Amino acid sequence: MKILENKQNTDAWFSDRLGKVTGSKLKNIVVKRGTNKKIGFYELIADRLATEEPEEDPRERGHRLEDVAIAEFEKLTKKKVKQVGLCISDENENIALSPDGLIGKNNEEAVEVKCLNSAKHLQTYFEQEIPSEYHEQAMQYFIVNEKLKKLYFVMFDPRITVKPIHWIEIKREDVKDEIEFLRDYQTQVLEEVEALITNLTF
């Protein structure tokens, strides 16, 4: 066994741990046979690939980098992205979306941008699946915009210099059953909300 003498919780100690499987990291790596890799696997890759940046609130970082990501997406795809405020469904005025960008004269394409941590950026690239916590948000694009044929779910992280941007294409035809289910579900929820408000105010 090799022993390093840097004191725990110092910068040197944190540097010593980078890219290594430690006791506290092991639980985020071990998976049952036949299941996907856990985020700890991608953290090990990120530790070795990501360039260091000053600490920043993730939400503020996301807002700061969104325009940069869209500009890079436009450069790579030659598509012009329009940024708008709020989109409201023609079917129900209480079903809405704040899109990151719309594409095309008839808004048949759109982009949703995420600037997440480096491990999540890499996980999405290797697994080619959008993070589950953003699934419903992606579906809302199709629910609100009935003309939407394709959503580009764009991941951007300039710290991963070998692959700072990538995206997953979601086509309406591939998720049509889910779109219908989630549209009906939120319509029902809104009806329940209206009924309760009516009972309270009359």
Query: Rounded CA gap, 189 and 182, in Å?
Result: 10
Structure letter (DSSP) for residue 134 = G
Sequence-ordered strand ranges (E) for the chain: 81-82, 87-88, 96-97, 101-103, 109-114, 150-156, 165-171
The percentage of residues in the chain with a pLDDT greater than 70, rounded to a whole number, is: 82
Using the structure block, give the residue that is written with the tokens 């549209």: 183
> How many helical (H) and strand (E) elements, i.e. helices and strands, does the chain have?
7, 7
Cβ-contact 118, 163 below 8 angstroms? no
Name the nearest CA neighbour of 126 among 152, 151, 155.
155
Beta strand segments in 18-84, E: 81-82
pLDDT of residue 52: 73
Given a cut of 70, whether residue 17 has pLDDT beyond it is: no
pLDDT per position as a tens digit, 108-148? 999 999 999 899 999 999 999 999 999 999 999 999 999 99
DSSP summary character for residue 95: -
Residue 153: strand pairing partners: 112, 168
Question: pLDDT class for 50, splitting at 50, 70, 90?
Answer: confident
- For domain 55-201, the CATH class is alpha beta
Q: Is the entire prediction scored with pTM above 0.85?
A: no
**pLDDT 10s digits, 54-109:** 676 777 877 889 999 999 999 999 999 999 989 999 999 889 999 999 999 999 99
DSSP state of 35: S
